[in-house]
A and B are shown apart, each in its own frame.
Chain A
Amino acid sequence: MKSVSLSRFGMRILASALTLAGLLSSATSMAASSPDIDSTEMASSSVPTRIVTLYQGATDSAIALGLTPVGVVDAWLEKPMYRYLRDALSGVEHVGLETQPNLEKIAWLDPDLVIASDFRHARIAPLLTTIAPAVSAPTVFDFKSTLTMVANATGRESQANALLQQWDDRVTDFRQQIAVRLGSEWPQKAAVVRFKSDHVRIYNNGFAGSILDELGFEQPDTLQSQGWGMKLSSTENIPILDADVMFVLLEPDDPAIADNYRHWSTHPLWQQLSAVQHGRVYEVDPVSWMMGGGILAANAMLDDLFVHYGLAQSETPHQRVCHPYTAGIAEPLSC
């Protein structure tokens, strides 16, 4: 009926809006009142032995500390598990995807420690803490804080400190050697470029970015103040990739990515990139440069850099730290 007066009508709308607002605020209060995972305090006093790791960096860190988790999440590449961790994790149960781990499976594994990340698992935090004591890292990229957190939760602080000390030594060694080797050409601007099947990404922070930063590399001019980086879908954008050195992350298992790489790298603009003209384009493994996310992956990435720049690895190799914990494995890990 068009004769309904507008004011009556407005009252009704107002009333229903108020009801909705009431409902909405009930939802809001519910969202606010759920408990947080305690990231510092451990509930159990004894040292946990049945550990479930819910992100890649946590799995890597646990193995670096000589722990074998009872449950891990699927890897992003080289499924079900990264090759560099496969031997150490043979026979270990998988609990599904990092974004959506199978809670029921986790509960059945009866863990005494769950290692999660706020970023991925904040929503399931209340359930995780019901299943087992849980610790949670704010991000999934910071391998040092992940290592420290896992070590604190499992009483392996001394091992973690040794690993971090050895990392610092390697970083110092790299910085000294590369400064000598490159002279006035150091510091270099480094571009971390990842090829996907239909686009290309250039990163400025995250796992690889923070390590390159620690090693003294600089960011390409185009990337400054660009947040996490950029997604490039057209070859027109190739000049954005310009840097002194380029690290290209490819996935050997995916032919579509190789095709896209061929397409971009044969483009005339690509040939004009300074890194290309100076022959400083290095194809690197996305697992150690991005997906691994732990100290083992970080060391593998650093190994790559020593090799690419022809620097001598000092004879206090990090393998010495890794070996005891990977005892029984035929081939040394690339850690």
Chain B
Amino acid sequence: MRIETALPSPGTVQDKRDRLCQNLLLLGFLLLASAAFSLCLGSFPTSFMQVMRALAAPDSSDIAFIIWELRLPRITLAMLVGAALAIAGAILQSIVRNPLASPDVIGITSGAAFAAVLFLALLGTTLSIRWLPVAAMLGALLAALAVACLSWKNGISPARLVLVGIGLAAAMGAGTTLMIVLSDDAAAMTAYVWLTGSLYAAQWKDVQGMLPWLLVTVPVCLMFARHADAMALGDSVAEGLGVAILRSRLTLLACSVALAGAAVAFAGGLSFVGLIAPHLAARLVGRNLARLVPGSALVGALIVLYADLLGRVAFLPKDLPAGIFVAGIGAPFFVYLLHRTRYQQR
């Protein structure tokens, strides 16, 4: 906000800000409408009225079961996971000042993936697969901790963080491949599905497991949003503005890791959302983190929601992992937006 008031004419800035807030609201409505739309589609198309009736008055009918226990938790989890990944990406891109940063790039997702595959290969037969999210979450946290420690040198410099992250991600990618090669067909198949990322069979308990992470981290992110905006101008400027750089950076990094780790734990290795959603959102609601965080969350939720919808209904009766479609949905919009902004700038 402070950054924008530094721009030349206050009137246009106010207009612009109104327009950006309007976009945020529009995104919110779009998400709600999309969720309702998605709720009406499935193996057996149910009419909007049927869905609303089942929602309003759940009974013991098949439709009520399908809406309440199959579609609704899955759609909810899709939105939460998409939002978490997108926020994690937005924060990372902001604190490392690199538009290519995302949870996939700096090793968080790879840490979770490696832990998950390790779990499937070594413990898959002895321990229930319900422990997989816990393993994935631990992997994400350990990887992030390792990246932070390895790139520590009187604080954390963004460039080193990214480089160390990429190195660690590559190493763990190799470990993941090795574990898949060493495990038998059935475990390898499960691992592949997990690595693709899927919201299949999401249950209310998954939603309950995912939601607290967002409830804890999003307020913190918003609290630190102004600091991050100042840091975007460079460390010395931010320091001059009174920002405790190390503290802000580490807090935001921790939030990002927690969000990405939780998302990966519940939905597997959905990649690309964390990279693309913040860029899409920035073009709609601006780069100001206070708006970019909710904006990215909405865009990420939309992307994963539609990716999962495609996986659910496009190839019936097959139910395919959402991860297959994330890039397919996100990339065209991404390219279009990049193209349009280039055209406008000319």
Q: Interface of A with B (CB < 8 Å)?
A: 1-2, 4, 9, 12-13, 16, 19-20, 23-24, 26-28, 30-32, 34, 74, 93-97, 99-105, 107-108, 110, 119-120, 122-124, 126-127, 130-131, 140, 201, 206, 227-229, 231
Contacts and interface: CB of A to CB of B under 8 A. Distances in A.
B205 A1 contact: no
Contacts of B318: 74, 96-97, 100, 102
Given A4-B244, A96-B319, A26 B71 contact: no
Contacts of A123: 129-130, 132, 201
B209 A30 contact: yes
B233 interface: no
Given A23-B262, A99-B193, 14 more contacts: A4-B247, A9-B250, A20-B141, A24-B134, A97-B318, A99-B189, A100-B321, A104-B70, A108-B43, A110-B62, A122-B129, A123-B130, A126-B203, A229-B184
Contacts of B42: 104
B134 A127 contact: no
B278 interface: no
A170 to B, nearest CB: 27
A231 B181 CA distance: 7
A27 B209 contact: yes
A227 B239 contact: no
Interface in B131-188: 131-134, 137-138, 141, 154-155, 181-186
Given A9-B247, A93-B317, A206-B184, A103 B205 contact: no
A107 B65 contact: yes
B30 interface: no
Most buried by B among A9, A74, A228: A228
B197 to A, nearest CB: 12
Contact of A107 (B70, B154, B190, B247): B70
A19 B209 contact: no
Contacts of B190: 99, 119-120
B43 A119 contact: no
B317 A102 contact: yes
B232 interface: no
Contact of B265 (A4, A27, A74): A27
A112 B42 CA distance: 22
Contacts of B65: 107, 130-131
A107 B186 contact: no
A101 B203 contact: no
Contacts of A107: 62, 65-66, 70
B317 A95 contact: yes
Contacts of A227: 182, 184
Nearest to B261: A20
Q: Which 8 A-B pairs have the closest CB atoms?
A: A228-B184, A104-B43, A124-B201, A105-B43, A31-B130, A102-B319, A1-B244, A96-B318
Contacts of B184: 206, 227-229
Contacts of A95: 317
22 contacts: A1-B244, A2-B245, A9-B246, A13-B250, A20-B141, A20-B258, A74-B318, A94-B317, A96-B318, A99-B193, A100-B201, A102-B316, A103-B70, A103-B201, A105-B44, A105-B316, A107-B66, A107-B70, A108-B43, A108-B62, A122-B128, A231-B181
